[in-house]
Structures are given as C-alpha cells and as structure tokens.
Amino acid sequence: MKLAAAAVLLALASSAFAHDANVDMAKAANAFLASLTPEQKSQATLPFESEAKGERVNWHYVPRERKGLALKDMTEPQRALAKALLKTGLSDDGFAKAEAIQSLEEILRVMEKAAAGHRDPEKYYVSVFGTPGGKDPWAWRWEGHHQSFNYTSVDDAAPSMTPSFFGSNPGEVGDGDSKGLRVLGAEEDLGRALVKSLTAEQRQTAVILTEAPNDILNSPRRPDPTRPEGLAAAEMSAGQQVALVKIIKEYLFRCRTDVAAEEFAKIEKAGLGTCTLPGRVASSAVNPTITACRTPSSSSSTTTRRTTRTMSTASGASSGATSALTCCCSTSAKGTRSSAWVR
C-alpha cells in the first residue's frame, strides 16, 4: 500500500513539473475544433507546410481578410473555446493586452467614422495547421488587426511562440470612458527611457536612422529580421543593462510564462554582453541588441493620437525551432515615429 501511494505521489510530482505547453495547446485546439460544424472546420484548418511558404507564414497585423475562422462566425461557446486556446499561448498580462487591443477597434470605428466591417472587434481569426497533438509538427495562429500570435509544436520540445505581434491604435485613448488607456504603455516607456539614457557617443551607434520609418523595421517582408545591429549591451552602463533586461522581460513574458522563463534562462546562460540596441536576443546563439530610430522627444509622448506596435519574431520558426527573439516597439505621433527594438 505504501509503495502504491509513493508511486501515485511520484507520478503527480512528475506531471506537476513536466513541461506541458504542447499538451495544453493540443488539448485546447482539439476542443475548439470538436465544437465546429464541418463547414467551420474546413475554414479553421489548413495543412502544415514545413517550408517557409504558404499560408502558415503569411502573417500580418493589418486589418484584412484572412484565412481561418473569424470570431464573428462562431457561436458564444465556440468563442469561449477559441479564447481558451489563446490563453494557452499568452500569460495573463499578454491575454489582458490582447483583449484590450481588440476593444480599441470600436474606439477606432467611432474616431474614423469607419465603414461597417472595417473596424470590427470580432474580425480576429483562428487557424490550425496540421493535426494538434499528433506525431507530426503542427501549428496554430490567432490574428487580426494589430495582433498576430503564432505557435508551432515539433516533437516534445517547447513550442515556438513567434512571430508574436501586439499593436495599439490609438497609442493613448484621448477621450471617452477609456480616456488615458495606453495598452502598450509599459513597452513604450521602457524603450523610450533606455534610448534617452544613452550618451551622445552611444547614440551614434544605437541610432540607425536619422528619421523614423513609416512602420516597424521588422515587418513580415523583412528578409533577415534577426541581423544584429546597434549598440551592444557590453557597451552600456550597468544601469542601462538593467533597463534592457526589463524591456526583454516585458516582451517575453507576454507569452506563456513557463516557456518564456525557459527562453529567458537561455539568454542568461549565454550572457547579455552581446546584446545590441536595436535589440536582438537570440536564444540558441544569443546576440541581444537594441536599436533606436530618431531620438524620442517629449512632445511625442504627450500626443494622444498615435500608434504603438510591438513585435517578437524568431528565426527558424517555420520548423518550430526558436533560435532568435526580436522585439520591436514603434510609436508614431502626428506623422513622426520614435522606435526602440530588442532583438
């Protein structure tokens, strides 16, 4: 009897400490798929392509028609299951930000007097690639305006959690019941503070463009999103390195916390010294960096109508490997943008 009890306790302990991200995601994805009608399931499911081509890598954050099943075409129970799947990929903080970003669509609709259907908090799509929990690689995606969350599971390894994109428009709500809301305020403030702490000499290396770009540098079309450039963390002061770590954690821990903790442990093991500003943090071959485009101005921080976009990408995501993490933050104000990235 004692041996049996010990065996049960051992099994419980093993399961409690086992890495279960893939199991959780597969269970949630299968529950969602099981709730769909045959027609809905045909929309929600797509083949898994291992090469860097096809719908699985056709991700974007603009409001456009997408493949997959939209929230607006689901019943309430199905939406609950779709959001349960999303929760397996995000931390509580990340999920709260995702919900807030979706709510901004209604604010944009009023601000822009947009045509029906253009700004719609229900135009977020769920796509499942391959067979969840099977022996072959599979993936899933949640995507809509200013959101693109992509997950790939291969074998028993922790799932790849990138590309991962969060955007906020407006960057700060100017009036109404949500006045003052800044969904991505932490990312923006941390990046701006770090860049403004740089010396004139450091900025010569960190500032890679004299004028801010029209959009984030790490767009879906960028051929090499993890190429290191900018100011290395080894060339920062101790205080600046602490600030850099805060930025990395702010981005990384929007994703599922157990996997995020494992990824951050890889960064710590490899060392922060080769990090650079634009930022780059590689997991397997760590090369963290931070980059700035144009020195952030105090005036842009007080403009209420602006867009804030943040993103994490990983090279090797097409096969499920997470070899490099890139985080970007771009803020526009009245046609100008100030940006900071951690890659």
pLDDT value of residue 52: 63
Query: What's the chain's average pLDDT?
Result: 77
Burial class (CB in 10 A: 0-12, 13-18, 19+), 133: middle
pLDDT value of residue 214: 75
pLDDT value of residue 274: 64
pLDDT of 301 over the 50 cut: no
Mean pLDDT of 179-194: 94
Confidence band of 289 (pLDDT split at 50, 70, 90): very low
pLDDT of 262 over the 60 cut: yes
Residue 155 lies in a domain: yes
pLDDT value of residue 343: 29
Residue 7 lies in a domain: no
Number of domains, the chain: 2
pLDDT value of residue 212: 73
pLDDT of 172 over the 60 cut: yes
pLDDT value of residue 228: 73
Whole-angstrom Cα Rg for the chain? 21
Residue 164 lies in a domain: no
Residue 15 lies in a domain: no
pTM for this model (two decimals):
0.80
pLDDT value of residue 308: 61
Q: What is the pLDDT of residues 310-339, one digit of tens each?
A: 655 443 343 333 333 444 555 443 322 222
Residue 223 lies in a domain: yes
Residue 256 lies in a domain: yes
**Least-confidence region, from 7-21, 46-60, 259-273:** 7-21
Q: What is the pLDDT of residues 158-171, one digit of tens each?
A: 999 988 999 998 88
Burial class (CB in 10 A: 0-12, 13-18, 19+), 117: exposed
Confidence band of 152 (pLDDT split at 50, 70, 90): very high
Task: Check if the beta carbon of residue 187 is closer than 8 Å to that of residue 329.
Answer: yes
Residue 168 lies in a domain: no
Mean pLDDT of 234-240: 94
Residues 32 and 153 in one domain: yes
Mean pLDDT of 195-224: 82
pLDDT value of residue 18: 33
Residue 211 lies in a domain: yes
Mean pLDDT of 56-71: 91
Cis peptide before 163 (omega within 30 of 0): yes
**Residue 85 corresponds to which tokens in the numbers above?**
């799947």
**Residue 123 corresponds to which tokens in the numbers above?**
């135009």
Residues 191 and 338 in one domain: yes
Residues 189 and 147 in one domain: no
Q: What is the pLDDT of residues 112-148, one digit of tens each?
A: 776 666 788 889 999 999 999 988 999 999 999 999 9
Residues 219 and 337 in one domain: yes
Q: What are phi and psi of 202, to 5 degrees?
A: -65, -40
Residues 89 and 230 in one domain: no
pLDDT of 8 over the 70 cut: no
Q: Are strands 276-277 and 289-293 parallel, antiparallel or unpaired?
A: parallel
pLDDT value of residue 189: 95
Confidence band of 7 (pLDDT split at 50, 70, 90): very low
pLDDT value of residue 287: 35
Q: Which domain holds residue 36?
A: 20-159
Residues 302 and 238 in one domain: yes
Confidence band of 271 (pLDDT split at 50, 70, 90): confident
Q: At what angle do helices 92-112 and 76-87 cross, to 10 degrees?
A: 130
